[in-house]
């Protein structure tokens, strides 16, 4: 027997309407978030791997303009990226993708992600997306294609945690914990963002 002390906390409600969900939900993988975050909030976009396990589609919002030849990207705090993962700017996957070599979290306003080589230009507010591997311009691909949205929080300290998964409905974008862009919204065509 063990005791776990928790404080009461409620996430802002973000699901306005549920039209269809996945019956029984799905198991959320914790490998990519372990050690970064202990509790995954609701309204996180996930994609399924070939084994049927759902993984977080990691994103971050660009904090300052990124030049076409830059290898550093300033992003807003609160992202889930870690060293060794491949990233690209924009979920339209038009740019190149390369591996993260360093993440500097010393600044109070933003984190600085350093990639091995240039991945293209980005404007303030653009979205940095987890890619499957290093790729040339126009050849980047999602590591996990955005499919559904989690409906409840997930404890990432415990294996095989389930979550309800929204397939069709209405979601309030302003309370989503991680940024999305038009390209991600297009892939989630049964979700209406308000």
Q: 153, 129, 128, 148: which is closest to 38 by C-alpha?
A: 153
CA distance 188 to 96: 23
Give the residue range(s) of CATH 2.40.300.10 domains in the chain. Answer: 15-57+144-193
* Mean pLDDT of successive 10-residue stretches along the chain, which has 194 residues: 70 89 93 89 95 95 95 96 96 94 96 96 96 94 96 90 94 95 94 94
- Which H, E and C letters describe the chain, residue by residue? CCCCCCCCCCCCCCEEEEEEECCCCEEECCCCCCCCCCEECCCCEEEECCCCCEEECCEEEECCCECCCCCEEEEECCCCCCCCCEEEECCCCCCCEEEEEEEECCCCCEEEEEECCCCCCECCCCEEEEECCCECCCCCCECCCCCEEECCCEECCCCCEEECEEEEEEECHHHCCCCCCHHHHHHCCCEEEC
Mean pLDDT of the chain: 93
User: Model pTM?
Assistant: 0.90
CATH of domain 59-131: 2.40.30
Query: What pLDDT score was predicted for residue 174?
Result: 93
Query: What pLDDT score was predicted for residue 34?
Result: 85
Query: What pLDDT score was predicted for residue 1?
Result: 65
Query: What pLDDT score was predicted for residue 173?
Result: 94
Output the six-digit token pair for 71.
């290898």
Query: What pLDDT score was predicted for residue 109?
Result: 96
CA distance 140 to 94: 7
Instruction: Summarize pLDDT for 158-186 with one digit per residue, the tens.
Output: 888 899 999 999 999 999 999 999 999 99
What CATH fold (topology level) applies to the domain 15-57+144-193? Virus Head Decoration Protein; Chain: A, (2.40.300)
């Amino acid at each position: 027997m063990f005791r776990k002390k928790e404080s009461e906390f409620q996430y802002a409600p973000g699901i306005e309407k549920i039209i269809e969900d996945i019956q029984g939900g799905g198991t959320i993988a914790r490998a990519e978030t372990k050690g970064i975050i202990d509790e995954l909030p609701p309204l996180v976009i996930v994609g399924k791997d070939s084994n049927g396990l759902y993984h977080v589609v990691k994103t971050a919002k660009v904090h300052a303009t990124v030049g076409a030849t830059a290898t550093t990207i300033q992003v807003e705090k609160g992202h889930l990226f870690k060293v060794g993962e491949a990233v690209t700017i924009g979920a339209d996957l038009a740019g190149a993708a390369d591996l993260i070599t360093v993440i500097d979290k010393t600044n109070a306003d933003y984190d600085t992600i350093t990639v091995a080589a240039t991945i293209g230009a980005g404007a303030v507010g653009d979205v940095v997306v987890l890619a499957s591997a290093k790729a040339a311009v126009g050849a980047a691909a999602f590591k996990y294609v955005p499919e559904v949205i989690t409906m409840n929080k997930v404890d990432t300290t415990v294996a095989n945690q389930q979550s309800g998964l929204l397939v069709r409905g209405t979601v309030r974008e302003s309370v989503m914990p991680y940024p999305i862009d038009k390209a991600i919204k297009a892939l989630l065509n049964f979700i209406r963002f308000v």
